[in-house]
Structures are given as structure tokens and as C-alpha cells.
Amino acid sequence: MQRLSTLIIGLGLLVLSGCSNNELRYAPVEGVLTVDNKPIAKAQIVLSCDSVEVEGAAPTSRGVTDQSGHFSLVSITPNKQVIDGAVVGEHRVTVITKLEDMNSQNQPVVVRKEMLGSEYTNGQKLTLSVPASGTTDVRFDLKSK
């Protein structure tokens, strides 16, 4: 029984070692976002890896779509370096299409209202698994609210 307990603890540490603060693995992530079958420019894509904690928070990666809806994600490492990609593993995905700008009085003005329901903007509906080899063919084909 003690041997089994030692084996289970050892395997747990082995699995966790790939996700420790110093051992986070990153992989490239690219894809396309469409809403109602149309590409959306300047939408924010945010991935949160809840299975890992770095300095009290889940590692996140972010990207902004271009005119064709294409995005590439970047992350900030625990050493505060910007790196292409996302942490390898399971992620919750948040998509925000609302755009704001500042007016002449330096106050925020809504340029584009949020097109998506809260299930997309709060990270509850979409998930993404980032493989160690990365992925360049992510597709988020969403419906507006």
C-alpha cells in the first residue's frame, strides 16, 4: 500500500512539474473568429489556463483579430517576457467584440456594442486545448445575441 501511495504521489509531482512556474510550456496558437459567418476585426480573444497558478493567478494569453478575423495569441511569462503562444493545456476562452474609444473630453465612447452573449464574454461556454505542438487552425464560429 505504501508503495502505491509513493507511486501516486510521484506521478502527481511528475505531471505538475510540467506546469510549475519555472516549467510552463508555451505553444503557438492562431485562428479565426467569425460572428454570424462574418469575420470580426478588433475582437479580443483571451485564454485562461485554470489548471495552473502563477503568482496567484491563472496564466492568460491574448490576441486581437484583424480585418479577416485572424488572431495570434501572446502571453507574458512569469519573468515578464512577451512570448508568442499560450500555455500548453486546457483553457477557458473569453471573446469580447465591444469596442470603445475616447472622445475629445477623454471619456470612453462605445464604438461597437457587444455582439455576443455573456456566455462568450465571461469564459463559460468556450474551451480550447492547446497541444504541445501548438495549433494554427482554431476556429470560433459564433452566433450573435
Question: Mean pLDDT in the chain?
Answer: 87
Task: Please tell me the predicted confidence (pLDDT) of residue 18.
Answer: 39
String of DSSP letters for 19-77: TSTT---EE-EEEEEEETTEE-TT-EEEEE-TT--BTTB--EEEEE--TTSEEE-EEE-
- Give the list of residues 6+ apart from residue 10 with CB closer than 8 angstroms, or none: none
> So what's the pLDDT on residue 7?
36
CA distances from 65 to 10, 16, 45, 54, 144 (A): 42, 33, 8, 26, 17
Here the cell at position 29 is 496558437
pLDDT (tens digit per residue) in 26-70: 999 999 999 999 999 999 999 999 888 888 888 999 999 999 999
pLDDT-derived band of residue 20, with 50, 70 and 90 as boundaries?
very low
Identify the CATH assignment for 24-142 out of 3.40.50.300, 3.30.365.10, 2.60.40.10, 2.40.160.10.
2.60.40.10
Joined grid coordinates for residue 142: 459564433
Burial class of residue 89 (count of CB atoms within 10 Å of its CB; 0-12, 13-18, 19+): buried
For residue 22, is pLDDT > 60?
A: no
Confidence category of residue 2, pLDDT binned at 50, 70, 90: very low
Please tell me the distance from the alpha carbon of residue 81 to that of residue 134, in angstroms, as a whole number: 19
Can you give the residue ranges of every domain in the chain?
24-142
Looking at residue 41, what is its pLDDT? 98
Q: Is the pLDDT of residue 110 over 50?
A: yes
| Position 118 pLDDT exceeds 90 | yes
- Alpha-carbon gap, residue 143 to 145, rounded angstroms: 7
What pLDDT shows up at residue 58?
87
